[in-house]
Chains A and B, each alone.
Chain A
Amino acid sequence: MPPVLPSWLLPPNVVAALSAPPAKPVATKPLRTAVNAKGPLDWSQPQAIVLAGNPNVGKSVVFNAITGLYANVSNFPGTTVDIPKGWLDSIHPIEDTPGVYGLSRLSEEETVAEKAIVAADVVINVVNATTLERDLFLTQQLIDYELPLVVALNQADEAKALGVMIDETVLSRLLGVPVVSTVATLHQGIDELKQALPLARVGNPTPGSVDATTTKELETNMASRMQVYGLRRQHVNAILSQVVSQISDKPHTWAQRFGESLGQWLLHPAFGLATLAVVLLALYQMVGIWVAGDLVGFTEETVMMQWIIPPIQKAIGLVVPQTSWVYVFLAGEFGVLTMSLQYIYGVLFPLVLGFYVYISLLEDSGYLPRIAVLSDTLLSRIGLNGRAVIPLILGFGCVTMATVSTRVLTTQRERTIASTILAVTIPCSAQIAVILALMAKAGGLRAWGVYLAFLFLILVALGTALNALLPGKSTPLVLDLPPMRLPSLNNVAKKTWIRTKAFIVEASPLFVLGSAIVGVLQITGLLQKIQVALAPLTVSWLHLPGEAATVFVMGMVRRDFGAAGLLGMANHLTNIQIITALITITLFVPCIASAAVFWKERGLKEATAILFGSWALAFGLGAAISRILEWLPLV
């Protein structure tokens, strides 16, 4: 029972509404004839359709099945943050929305979803037949908001396999809206769903509610919202008791039972962590060694440097002399045309593709949310929750790509913490390849241990400090765990391709901009001046040779340029100097493209703070670590 509020806290019309007789077992009655507040739906006129539903119920699959387009389909709740748009036919646009549990603007996803949903002419509410008691709460809220609705009862096959029987006819009568049973992955029921759209209607409101305006008003106030929610929950429970019957309790098929045991095993404190270690090592082998090393070696050095770049340089050389600044700007060492092409298609494209294949496989198998659960213990201590593990893993591939993916986090606070950690402590795969080579020179495993231990300490300290300093509180982990499934390779391929393409389209201009800035710095001689100015600092603070300054500045251009520069100097460096330099370059400003993404995602003020903060941290901690290692000879 929700606590009863003193009536003076509530507006008079609400008091009247709440004192009305509360939820009785719901009576079945014919569908309401009044179709919606704007009058009957005229399907020959343009009507905007919006999909709404809880996370991971299959909205995106329904969207794809209806439009023939591709929206991100995943077995990880909360992956649709932007709104994909398509067309049912020439006059009926249709939009997908992020999965939400309710429309109360409790998170950014909810705000995005609510705006789209309340503006719709027709809402398709996708509910998962196996989790109806949760999903119908949103359905009833949509009805209480007087939105013309059609319910798609999705994954009806899975419910049946689990022994759950749902009486659709009674459900439709009780809700007062059409209910269509679908198995969207198999395209079943999609035509029926399309045919039902013109029949969309405003359903039966929660007994005791007045109208949509009053309900929305009540839901803006925390105390009265609880009362409305309580009544709605009771009403939904009453509906459930009349339409759902559990025939048997056990998963039926062998595959379901196996999936169930596997899901449990993967969350075991010991086995689960061991499996996670194996999965991450496999990721490292696949993306870090095969893709970042072997494949990128071929695409960058052979395809780009031998086949594609030389003809471009030659062509530009025909138009302008090779010594002119125009040539240097366009086709020189950091030329806007040559370096962007080489970096975007030679390095990033294969890398991001490889990363997304792996992540998509993890996601569609249902393992990714379990990684989020396993890492929640650590992440909740630094102001994040388990969901932040996705951007952090992606960061080891490309920090730029990872920063874009911080959009899956619920609050701005979490996004700030995650972006800062990415900018400061996570080395991207371009760097990791060179770091590996340097570590081999600095004594292998022991050097790795020292390097990783320092980075981990810095990550935890930074996260803890941000968590303490930033106002507010981070959200706790609340995550739906989908069943473990065999991923569909078709979906993995499609998803990988869409994501890679989206990233390349989004990041390319930033990389071009980065090259242009470096080009200007080089032509004006500023690049050299920065290096000269930085040199005393590297000598006196970091106890490194003066040339290391060049390495740091190059690290801004491309993080691996920096690390590669160090490799060239490695023979003259002591082990302590190698570790100091590697930590400094890891903490130091991320590449220019990721700086541009920070600026785009986090705003100018925050991005500037992150960038200058990482400079200060890199030199400050670099100096401290060099002294610690000189005093305590760990390497």
Chain B
Amino acid sequence: MASVLTTVMAPDEVLLPLATPQIASMASPLVYPLAKAMVGQWVRLGCILDPAIQLLAMRLGLSEGALLRVKAKLPAGPLVVVCGQTELALGRELCHAIPVHPLE
């Protein structure tokens, strides 16, 4: 299963260890909420704990390990992220509940 995921998601990136639900806490330096990512930054989606948000993310094509680029960040407002060819605007509060691993 894991081999399938890595083939699809990250053929050319150095793989960071993916968080399991137990260690996906915001305290880890390698994991922080998407809301804290910088404009232009590449991040890898971590494990979303909130079931409703996890569901939403899966439907939008954002599964754990997916690569995202932060395209824009409105002050105290939504983030615009690019995933593949999809450009998505996500409300700020939602971005606080989405853990990511920085790649740069």
> Which residues of chain B are near A373, meaning CB under 8 Å?
72, 74, 77-78, 80, 89
- 8 Å CB interface, A2-40 against B: 2-3, 22-23, 25
Minimum-distance CB pairs A-B, first 10: A134-B61, A377-B77, A476-B91, A477-B91, A101-B59, A476-B94, A267-B72, A130-B85, A481-B87, A479-B89
The digit string for A58-101, where 1 denotes a CB below 8 A from any CB of B, is 00000000000000000000000000000000000000000001
Which of B4, B75, B94 lies in contact with A478, CB distance below 8 A? B94
Given A137-B59, A223-B51, decide whether A376 and B89 contact each other with a Cβ distance below 8 A. Answer: yes
Beyond contacts A138-B59, A233-B63, A237-B8: 10 other A-B pairs, Cβ-Cβ < 8 A, are A1-B64, A130-B85, A131-B61, A133-B84, A134-B59, A137-B59, A476-B91, A478-B88, A478-B90, A482-B87
Say how far B16's CB is from chain A's closest CB, in angstroms.
16
Which of B5, B47, B75 lies in contact with A377, CB distance below 8 A? B75
A interface residue count range (under 10 / 10 to 19 / 20 to 34 / 35 or more): 35 or more
> Which residues of chain B are near A104, meaning CB under 8 Å?
55
Give the interface SS of chain B, mostly helix, strand, loop or mixed.
mixed
- 8 Å CB interface, A461-500 against B: 476-483
Q: Is the CB of B78 within 8 A of A386?
A: yes
- 8 Å CB interface, B1-31 against A: 1, 4-5, 7-9, 20-21
> Which residues of chain B are near A3, meaning CB under 8 Å?
21
Once the chains are docked, how many angstroms separate the CA of A267 from the CA of B82? 14
Say how far B83's CB is from chain A's closest CB, in angstroms.
8
**Which residue of chain B has its CB nearest to the CB of A24?**
B4
> Which residues of chain A are near B52, meaning CB under 8 Å?
222
Once the chains are docked, how many angstroms separate the CA of A380 from the CA of B21? 29
**Which residue of chain B has its CB nearest to the CB of A266?**
B72
Q: Is the CB of A238 within 8 A of B8?
A: yes
Say how far B86's CB is from chain A's closest CB, in angstroms.
5
Q: Is the CB of B77 within 8 A of A376?
A: yes
Q: Is the CB of B80 within 8 A of A267?
A: yes
Q: Is the CB of B74 within 8 A of A230?
A: no
Say how far B79's CB is from chain A's closest CB, in angstroms.
9
Which of B8, B20, B78, B87 lies in contact with A480, CB distance below 8 A? B87
Which of A222, A223, A269, A369 lies in contact with B89, CB distance below 8 A? A369
Q: Is the CB of A385 within 8 A of B58?
A: no
Say how far B50's CB is from chain A's closest CB, in angstroms.
11
Q: Is the CB of B58 within 8 A of A137?
A: yes
Number of residues on chain B facing chain A (CB within 8 A): 40
Q: Is the CB of A477 within 8 A of B89?
A: yes
Once the chains are docked, how many angstroms separate the CA of A2 from the CA of B49? 10
Once the chains are docked, how many angstroms separate the CA of A321 from the CA of B75? 67
Q: Is the CB of B1 within 8 A of A234?
A: yes
Residues of A within 8 A of B (CB): 1-3, 22-23, 25, 101-102, 104, 106, 130-131, 133-135, 137-138, 159, 162, 164, 222-223, 225-226, 229-230, 232-234, 237-238, 240-241, 263-264, 267-269, 272, 369, 372-374, 376-377, 380, 385-386, 476-483
Once the chains are docked, how many angstroms separate the CA of A369 from the CA of B4? 35
- 8 Å CB interface, B30-80 against A: 47, 51-52, 54-56, 58-61, 63-64, 71-72, 74-78, 80
> Which residues of chain B are near A269, meaning CB under 8 Å?
74-75
> Which residues of chain B are near A222, meaning CB under 8 Å?
51-52, 55
Q: Is the CB of A377 within 8 A of B76?
A: yes
Give the interface SS of chain A, mostly helix, strand, loop or mixed.
helix
> Which residues of chain A are near B78, meaning CB under 8 Å?
373, 376-377, 386, 477
Q: Is the CB of B60 within 8 A of A238?
A: no
Once the chains are docked, how many angstroms separate the CA of A107 from the CA of B48? 21
Which of A23, A134, A380 lies in contact with B60, CB distance below 8 A? A134
Once the chains are docked, how many angstroms separate the CA of A267 from the CA of B88? 12
> Which residues of chain B are near A238, meaning CB under 8 Å?
4, 8
> Which residues of chain B are near A232, meaning CB under 8 Å?
58
> Which residues of chain B are near A263, meaning CB under 8 Å?
87
Which of B20, B74, B88 lies in contact with A376, CB distance below 8 A? B74
Say how far B67's CB is from chain A's closest CB, in angstroms.
11
A-B residue pairs in contact (CB < 8 Å), sample of 19:
A101-B56, A106-B56, A131-B84, A133-B61, A137-B59, A159-B85, A222-B52, A233-B58, A237-B4, A237-B5, A237-B8, A377-B77, A380-B92, A386-B91, A476-B90, A477-B89, A477-B90, A481-B89, A482-B87
Say how far A543's CB is from chain B's closest CB, in angstroms.
40
Given A237-B9, A476-B91, A476-B93, decide whether A481 and B80 contact each other with a Cβ distance below 8 A. Answer: yes
Once the chains are docked, how many angstroms separate the CA of A106 from the CA of B80? 23
Say how far B62's CB is from chain A's closest CB, in angstroms.
8
Which of A1, A164, A223 lies in contact with B85, CB distance below 8 A? A164
Once the chains are docked, how many angstroms separate the CA of A22 from the CA of B72? 38
Once the chains are docked, how many angstroms separate the CA of A159 from the CA of B85? 9
Once the chains are docked, how many angstroms separate the CA of A162 from the CA of B52? 33
> Which residues of chain A are near B5, meaning CB under 8 Å?
234, 237
Once the chains are docked, how many angstroms separate the CA of A2 from the CA of B89? 25
> Which residues of chain B are near A23, meaning CB under 8 Å?
1, 4
> Which residues of chain A are near B60, meaning CB under 8 Å?
101, 134, 478
> Which residues of chain A are near B64, meaning CB under 8 Å?
1
> Which residues of chain A are near B7, meaning CB under 8 Å?
241
> Which residues of chain A are near B54, meaning CB under 8 Å?
2, 226
Say how far B51's CB is from chain A's closest CB, in angstroms.
6
Once the chains are docked, how many angstroms separate the CA of A264 from the CA of B84? 16
Q: Is the CB of A229 within 8 A of B55?
A: yes
Q: Is the CB of A478 within 8 A of B56?
A: yes
Q: Is the CB of A264 within 8 A of B92?
A: no
Once the chains are docked, how many angstroms separate the CA of A77 from the CA of B9? 26
Once the chains are docked, how many angstroms separate the CA of A234 from the CA of B9? 11
Once the chains are docked, how many angstroms separate the CA of A22 from the CA of B76? 42
Q: Is the CB of A479 within 8 A of B88?
A: yes
Once the chains are docked, how many angstroms separate the CA of A385 from the CA of B42? 26
Say how far A267's CB is from chain B's closest CB, in angstroms.
4
> Which residues of chain B are near A374, meaning CB under 8 Å?
74, 77
**Which residue of chain A has its CB nearest to the CB of B85?**
A130
